[in-house]
């Protein structure tokens, strides 16, 4: 992201031939999983076939009925005899158009990929059409099934960053639901405590739109107007660490540039989430996302100086305590060496580790690695209300039937 932002490839025209050639290039180079097909295209094909069959069936029935009525009124046996044949002819004609619609859909998808690839290269990045089961630790990547990241645009300057759309499904049968997300993943150089910023501006009627609920006792209120835009969760005992990471200037940048995005810091990653596609052909969306990342990226160096003091505790109470004790004995002189020491013996030499080793190593102690989850009580209440209303209906109908029978 060190090159100037250039959105022009997003809007450049792409011929069908160029789109088809680019799709073939993706498949031949192994950048298109599954060869020539994708889930999105398959869904589009199914929709097209369904529409053609339903629309064709309705149209055929209408035309056939109209022809039969005309033939009956006119007394023309030839016209009446054509009525059963016409619906079949219409269905065959519409079915013959299915390959045309399929090719058009595939070309449209390939044109989107071509533009995004050009946009990525113009901005010093790379493009990947899709990636099943992305190996990322964020909360959305462990939900449901059929997990798929698509339209991935990534770069590694000045640090690795990835923009993508994401889908997963939950439930089954009639209750199956597809969840749509966009995400930005930024790789950090140091693991940090698990912290979540739940943006209040994108929450729904029943509270947070996040797929996971967290224990309320992990909520940390910050100063200023920050609590008007975000609800911050950090592990118990890591409140001071969160205050170190979220200084007033960093809070201001989140409010000014990412107030509409949910944020998660987990392991050595920072994620921005939104319940919409991020990787699109809309220059305004890309400008907004680049601005959000750019506003934060120069502050990550401050975060990466953080160390978890809990990782230094074993050294201080065990092996790390010996050097300090030895140094104190040496400083006190022979008289302080203890009654068991020989009168003419030299004091023990101090063993002082290099200053860099006194600092805890990068990492997070176990209590800070993951937030504790809770039950989404609002969702439970809604489900109970639906079940209760569904159960009351038959009971009322049954009671009403008894009263009607008695009367």
Q: Is residue 211 part of a domain?
A: yes
- The domain boundary residue, chosen from 109, 128, 147: 128
Q: Is residue 13 part of a domain?
A: yes
Q: Is residue 373 part of a domain?
A: no
Q: Check pLDDT > 70 for residue 83.
A: no
d(CA 78, CA 239): 87
Assess contact for 235 and 368: CB atoms under 8 A.
yes
pLDDT for residue 76: 54
The answer to whether residues 49 and 183 belong to one domain is: no
Q: Is residue 111 part of a domain?
A: yes
pLDDT tens digit sequence for 362-402: 999 999 999 999 976 555 444 445 445 555 656 566 666 66
pLDDT, the chain, mean: 79
Q: Is residue 362 part of a domain?
A: no
The answer to whether residues 55 and 151 belong to one domain is: no
Q: Could you list the residue range(s) of the whole structural domain that residue 28 is in?
A: 1-128
Q: Place 98 in a pLDDT band, splitting at 50, 70 and 90.
A: low
Dihedral-angle region of residue 124 (phi above 0 means left; psi in -120 to 50 means alpha; beta otherwise): left
The answer to whether residues 105 and 152 belong to one domain is: no
The answer to whether residues 97 and 46 belong to one domain is: yes
- The domain boundary residue, chosen from 87, 113, 128: 128
Q: What is the pTM of this model?
A: 0.73
d(CA 292, CA 272): 9
Assess contact for 3 and 121: CB atoms under 8 A.
no
The answer to whether residues 167 and 235 belong to one domain is: yes
d(CA 186, CA 206): 30
pLDDT for residue 158: 87
d(CA 276, CA 345): 76
pLDDT tens digit sequence for 262-315: 999 999 999 999 999 999 999 999 999 999 999 999 888 889 999 999 998 554
- The domain boundary residue, chosen from 303, 321, 352: 303
232: enclosing H helix or E strand: strand 230-233
Q: Is residue 229 part of a domain?
A: yes
Number of domains, the chain: 2
d(CA 37, CA 130): 11
Q: How many secondary structure helices (H) and strands (E) does the chain include?
A: 14, 9
pLDDT for residue 3: 73
pLDDT tens digit sequence for 162-216: 999 999 999 998 899 999 999 999 999 999 999 999 999 999 888 899 999 999 9
Q: Is residue 2 part of a domain?
A: yes
pLDDT for residue 354: 53
The answer to whether residues 174 and 240 belong to one domain is: yes
The answer to whether residues 222 and 117 belong to one domain is: no
């Amino acid at each position: 992201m060190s090159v100037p932002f250039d959105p022009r490839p997003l809007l450049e025209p792409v011929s069908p031939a160029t789109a088809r050639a680019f799709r073939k290039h993706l498949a031949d180079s192994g950048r298109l999983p599954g060869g020539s097909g994708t889930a999105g295209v398959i869904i589009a094909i199914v929709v097209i076939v369904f529409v053609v069959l339903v629309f064709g069936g309705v149209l055929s029935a209408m035309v056939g009925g109209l022809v039969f009525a005309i033939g009956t009124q006119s007394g023309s046996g030839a016209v009446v005899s054509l009525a059963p044949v016409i619906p079949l002819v219409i269905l065959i004609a519409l079915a013959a158009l299915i390959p045309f619609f399929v090719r058009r859909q595939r070309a449209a998808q390939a044109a989107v990929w071509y533009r995004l690839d050009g946009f990525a290269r113009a901005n010093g990045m790379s493009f990947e059409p899709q990636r099943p089961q992305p190996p990322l630790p964020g909360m959305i990547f462990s939900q449901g099934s059929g997990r798929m990241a698509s339209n991935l645009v990534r770069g590694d300057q000045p640090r690795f960053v990835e923009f993508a759309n994401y889908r997963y499904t939950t439930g089954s049968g009639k209750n199956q639901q597809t969840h749509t997300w966009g995400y930005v993943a930024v790789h950090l150089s140091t693991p940090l405590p698990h912290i979540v910023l739940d943006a209040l501006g994108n929450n729904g009627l029943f509270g947070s739109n996040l797929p996971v609920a967290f224990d309320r006792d992990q909520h940390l209120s910050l100063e200023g107007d920050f609590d008007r835009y975000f609800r911050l969760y950090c592990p118990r005992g890591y409140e001071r660490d969160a205050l170190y990471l979220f200084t007033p200037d960093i809070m201001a940048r989140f409010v000014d540039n990412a107030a509409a995005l949910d944020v998660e810091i987990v392991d050595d990653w920072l994620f921005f989430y939104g319940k919409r596609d991020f990787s699109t052909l809309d220059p305004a969306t890309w400008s907004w996302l680049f601005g959000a990342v750019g506003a934060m990226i120069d502050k990550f160096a401050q975060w990466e100086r953080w160390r978890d003091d809990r990782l230094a505790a074993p050294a201080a109470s065990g092996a790390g305590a010996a050097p300090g004790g030895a140094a104190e004995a040496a400083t006190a002189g022979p008289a302080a060496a203890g009654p068991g020491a020989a009168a003419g013996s030299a004091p023990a030499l101090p063993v002082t580790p290099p200053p860099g080793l006194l600092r805890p190593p990068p990492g997070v102690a176990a209590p800070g690695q993951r937030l504790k989850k809770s039950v989404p009580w609002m969702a439970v209440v809604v489900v109970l209300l639906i079940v209760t209303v569904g159960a009351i209906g038959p009971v009322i109908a049954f009671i009403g039937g008894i009263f009607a029978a008695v009367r």
